[in-house]
A and B are shown apart, each in its own frame.
Chain A
């Protein structure tokens, strides 16, 4: 068993890994490194209850469910990894040595591409509790009009919270509808209707081309790709996330904009595609193969995945050989927006068709089931979460798609003019791809290796 374990990333995955280590009897040192100054906290409420004013951004601390007896290095960023020496290098010049390392550095909000515009007073991103506290304060002040840039889950939740508070909101989404990247176009149309029914000024197929400030550096106007302008004093940039892997540059690990590649046991690969046996990854930053999804390397930004993967990683850090476990949990996530509880199980983007299996779109309560080449691969419930376990079981057993038609609460019709599955209309992943460029170098067997040429721009 190792004597010293370093966990880089002191959020949900890092915390749960540390708890699991102790629960499984590990008695050596645990060093928790986190770039934020505070102990681990929960992020899902930041775009929901915090913005609604129901809870303070500083009251979302995660419980420490057992004594961790850890060394905490908070408020200091990891800047490098020396695998030969077994050390994590910190921004303050210190370093942390390890026998086993867990990489759980997660993601950060993708910043507005123009740094000067992004620095205007009134331009926000939402990832940390400080972000949420600042945005909440601005919402409390009663802005004239909010602009939300991007209608993924975070952007949609922010728009929902603002409408619930009576704030005028414009949402600019580059794609054809909200949530398209996660749920496909078929459900995106429903999401768009949901936005509009709640009074959101939703503009799809539109990007924000510029943000303009006044003479005192306060945001006052946004320019749109359709030629329009929008007077606004608050804009939230909700353009997804960037994985925190830059600190691993030069470490020789297979880490890049898509995350840290690891096996189903959470062991990280090096650039050559060889498994390390002392470095593990978990949470949003990890990319792992999932057998239900053709062993593709999938990175998931899900709360539940962070927990499950961290537990497996921690177990495997102190287990050896056949006692090691695979991380095989079926992915799942949830969202609350516009009065609707959305829950998903499986990978909706891994699909070619979708159908409404129960409930009705008109009543805003239904189960959408996704299929890929004739088997069930995902299900998304809108105010119907009670059925999720059934559909998870269908996914786990590769049940045929479309699923059994004789069930309770069958929909009257699937979509206007149709009575069965329709294309799920998921964006082609090739278009979204932004992988690193690598080169094979060396001639002799002991020098031949993979070299990172450059990161593609994300």
Chain B
């Protein structure tokens, strides 16, 4: 591939947001496509999986020739492990995982099951009567946003009442994942959120609870500057992605009443259906650019050292060379090794929680809502092409 391509521009165009999949199909004709800005887009399953496990592809932006400004550093914070390579990445991630999952804390997520159900049911009860009465409901504002945010607040020990503060920061910081925006805009949000987290950590240090932040403080595993960064990263990651997954899930089911009915009758299919959702309508469409540490040959193309590489996970998820009938949503699909949570050493830290939240959310919604129907199809989308999802999802009793 020698001619510069403008495919990336077409994908990030707002007009492509409701249905980028035909563009991905076009993109897959050139599995590794150099763009006019020198970035390489990788869009086919087998090439993506190879690169996700390739130790020559770095997640540290400093290894890219087009390295963006380092927001964390400018805010006086250490880098988050999502932007680090082994061995430092492995150490920080493992120490953080001690408070969240196996082997040290295998019961944490599962132990939240009843609480998640209680939160989910409470939110649904909050709008169900209005829904039954014919009112139009926004699934995003009334459920898909407050549910995971309430959960991540409880898990991490962030006061839910501070939403008026952190929502704005989180929205601003999530935009850093939008490749078109000037990262300078988020500087202030990062600084303010860093100060907020540092103060919150101070309070938890005085009066620790059984939340993750308190655990991270009392176990003393992370140096203080890393503690703030890690807390911000987990908190933000627990926001937008799950919001989109739940919303995409409702959208996908509402477009397929027969699948929705089947899941209502056979709720035991829900875990598989959520996996299929992660393949079919994943919340993360592309990863942040990674940097080649060496010349890397993939599918006959040599990605030069220092180049930025964008892995288009949502395209790999629809690759017919990996998935039979990739454009069919099949809740009983077998052999479904999707990229919904990525793969390799940076695979989604919060995946077990996101899975459980989405299973509980969708089960609760379809059980309670009788004859739901979409008000607008496609719904309005957020602009972000990387973390893709509807801005609102209006439904009403049909």
- A residues near B (Cβ < 8 Å) are 357-360, 363, 365, 386-390, 393, 404, 406-409
22 residue pairs of the A-B complex, CB under 8 angstroms, read A358-B86, A363-B87, A386-B344, A386-B345, A387-B55, A389-B49, A389-B50, A390-B53, A390-B54, A390-B55, A404-B56, A406-B56, A406-B294, A407-B55, A407-B56, A408-B56, A408-B85, A408-B86, A408-B293, A409-B55, A409-B85, A409-B86
Q: A357-B55, A388-B53, A408-B86 are in contact. List 19 more A-B contacts (CB 8 A).
A: A359-B87, A363-B87, A365-B90, A386-B344, A387-B53, A387-B55, A389-B53, A390-B53, A390-B55, A404-B56, A406-B56, A407-B55, A407-B294, A408-B55, A408-B56, A408-B293, A409-B55, A409-B85, A409-B86
Which residue of B is nearest A408, CB measured?
B85
Assuming the contacts A387-B53, A387-B55, A390-B53, asked whether A406 and B90 have C-beta atoms less than 8 A apart, the reply is: no
Q: How far is the CA of A358 from the CA of B54 in the complex (A)?
A: 12
Across the interface, do A404 and B86 meet the contact criterion of CB distance under 8 Å? no
Which residues on the B side are within 8 Å of A407 (C-beta)?
55-56, 293-294
Q: How far is the CA of A408 from the CA of B305 in the complex (A)?
A: 13
Q: How far is the CA of A404 from the CA of B53 in the complex (A)?
A: 14
Partner of A358, one of B55, B58, B344: B55
Assuming the contacts A389-B49, A393-B50, asked whether A408 and B58 have C-beta atoms less than 8 A apart, the reply is: yes
By secondary structure, the A interface counts as mixed
Q: How far is the CA of A52 from the CA of B345 in the complex (A)?
A: 29
Q: How far is the CA of A393 from the CA of B52 in the complex (A)?
A: 12
Q: How far is the CA of A444 from the CA of B352 in the complex (A)?
A: 70
Q: Nearest chain A CB to B31's CB is how many angstroms away?
A: 15
Closest 8 pairs between A and B when the two form their complex, measured CB to CB? A406-B294, A407-B55, A409-B86, A408-B85, A389-B53, A390-B53, A386-B345, A407-B56
Partner of A390, one of B50, B85, B294: B50
Which residues on the B side are within 8 Å of A409 (C-beta)?
55, 85-87
Q: How far is the CA of A406 from the CA of B294 in the complex (A)?
A: 6
Q: Give the residues from 142 to 156 in chain B that come closer than 8 angstroms, CB to CB, to chain A.
A: none
Q: How far is the CA of A408 from the CA of B53 in the complex (A)?
A: 12
Q: Nearest chain A CB to B303's CB is how many angstroms away?
A: 13
Which residues on the A side are within 8 Å of B86 (C-beta)?
358-359, 408-409
Which residue of A is nearest B90, CB measured?
A365
Q: How far is the CA of A359 from the CA of B55 in the complex (A)?
A: 11
Which residue of A is nearest B54, CB measured?
A390
Interface bits B336-351 vs A (CB < 8 Å: 1, else 0): 0000000011000000
Q: How far is the CA of A386 from the CA of B345 in the complex (A)?
A: 6
Q: Nearest chain A CB to B64's CB is how many angstroms away?
A: 14
Q: Nearest chain A CB to B83's CB is how many angstroms away?
A: 13
Q: How far is the CA of A404 from the CA of B344 in the complex (A)?
A: 19
Which residue of B is nearest A367, CB measured?
B55
Interface bits B170-207 vs A (CB < 8 Å: 1, else 0): 00000000000000000000000000000000000000
Q: How far is the CA of A389 from the CA of B51 in the complex (A)?
A: 10
Q: How far is the CA of A449 from the CA of B203 in the complex (A)?
A: 86
Q: How far is the CA of A358 from the CA of B344 in the complex (A)?
A: 15
Which residues on the B side are within 8 Å of A406 (C-beta)?
56, 293-294, 305
Which residue of A is nearest B46, CB measured?
A393
Across the interface, do A404 and B345 meet the contact criterion of CB distance under 8 Å? no
Which residue of B is nearest A410, CB measured?
B55
Q: How far is the CA of A360 from the CA of B294 in the complex (A)?
A: 21
Q: Nearest chain A CB to B125's CB is how many angstroms away?
A: 38
Interface bits B284-328 vs A (CB < 8 Å: 1, else 0): 000000000110000000000100000000000000000000000
Interface bits B73-88 vs A (CB < 8 Å: 1, else 0): 0000000000001110
Q: How far is the CA of A363 from the CA of B294 in the complex (A)?
A: 25
Q: How far is the CA of A387 from the CA of B346 in the complex (A)?
A: 12
Which residue of A is nearest B86, CB measured?
A409
Q: How far is the CA of A359 from the CA of B88 in the complex (A)?
A: 11
Q: How far is the CA of A359 from the CA of B293 in the complex (A)?
A: 16
Partner of A365, one of B56, B87, B293, B294: B87
Q: Nearest chain B CB to A114's CB is how many angstroms away?
A: 41
Q: How far is the CA of A409 from the CA of B55 in the complex (A)?
A: 8
Across the interface, do B53 and A386 meet the contact criterion of CB distance under 8 Å? yes
Which residues on the B side are within 8 Å of A387 (C-beta)?
53, 55, 345
Which residues on the A side are within 8 Å of B50 (C-beta)?
389-390, 393
Which residue of A is nearest B344, CB measured?
A386
Q: How far is the CA of A389 from the CA of B54 in the complex (A)?
A: 8
Interface bits B45-76 vs A (CB < 8 Å: 1, else 0): 00001100111101000000000000000000
Q: How far is the CA of A117 from the CA of B56 in the complex (A)?
A: 55
Q: How far is the CA of A387 from the CA of B344 in the complex (A)?
A: 8
Interface bits B85-100 vs A (CB < 8 Å: 1, else 0): 1110010000000000
Which residue of B is nearest A363, CB measured?
B87
Which residue of A is nearest B293, CB measured?
A406
Which residues on the A side are within 8 Å of B90 (C-beta)?
365
Which residue of A is nearest B55, CB measured?
A407
Which residues on the B side are within 8 Å of A359 (C-beta)?
86-87
Q: How far is the CA of A387 from the CA of B58 in the complex (A)?
A: 13
Q: Nearest chain A CB to B58's CB is how many angstroms away?
A: 6
Q: How far is the CA of A91 from the CA of B345 in the complex (A)?
A: 52
Q: Nearest chain B CB to A308's CB is how many angstroms away?
A: 14
Which residue of B is nearest A404, CB measured?
B294
Q: How far is the CA of A116 from the CA of B74 in the complex (A)?
A: 75
Which residues on the A side are within 8 Å of B293 (C-beta)?
406-408
Which residues on the A side are within 8 Å of B305 (C-beta)?
406
Which residues on the A side are within 8 Å of B49 (C-beta)?
389
Q: Give the residues from 191 to 231 in chain B that come closer than 8 angstroms, CB to CB, to chain A.
A: none
Q: How far is the CA of A363 from the CA of B54 in the complex (A)?
A: 21
Which residue of A is nearest B91, CB measured?
A363
Q: How far is the CA of A387 from the CA of B343 in the complex (A)?
A: 11
Q: How far is the CA of A365 from the CA of B87 in the complex (A)?
A: 9
Q: How far is the CA of A365 from the CA of B86 in the complex (A)?
A: 11
Q: Nearest chain A CB to B212's CB is how many angstroms away?
A: 23
Q: How far is the CA of A411 from the CA of B87 in the complex (A)?
A: 10
Q: How far is the CA of A365 from the CA of B89 in the complex (A)?
A: 13
Q: Nearest chain A CB to B310's CB is how many angstroms away?
A: 18
Which residues on the B side are within 8 Å of A404 (C-beta)?
56, 294
Which residues on the B side are within 8 Å of A357 (C-beta)?
55
Q: How far is the CA of A409 from the CA of B84 in the complex (A)?
A: 11
Which residue of B is nearest A357, CB measured?
B55
Among A359, A363, A386: residue with most chain B CB under 10 A: A386
Q: How far is the CA of A388 from the CA of B56 in the complex (A)?
A: 14
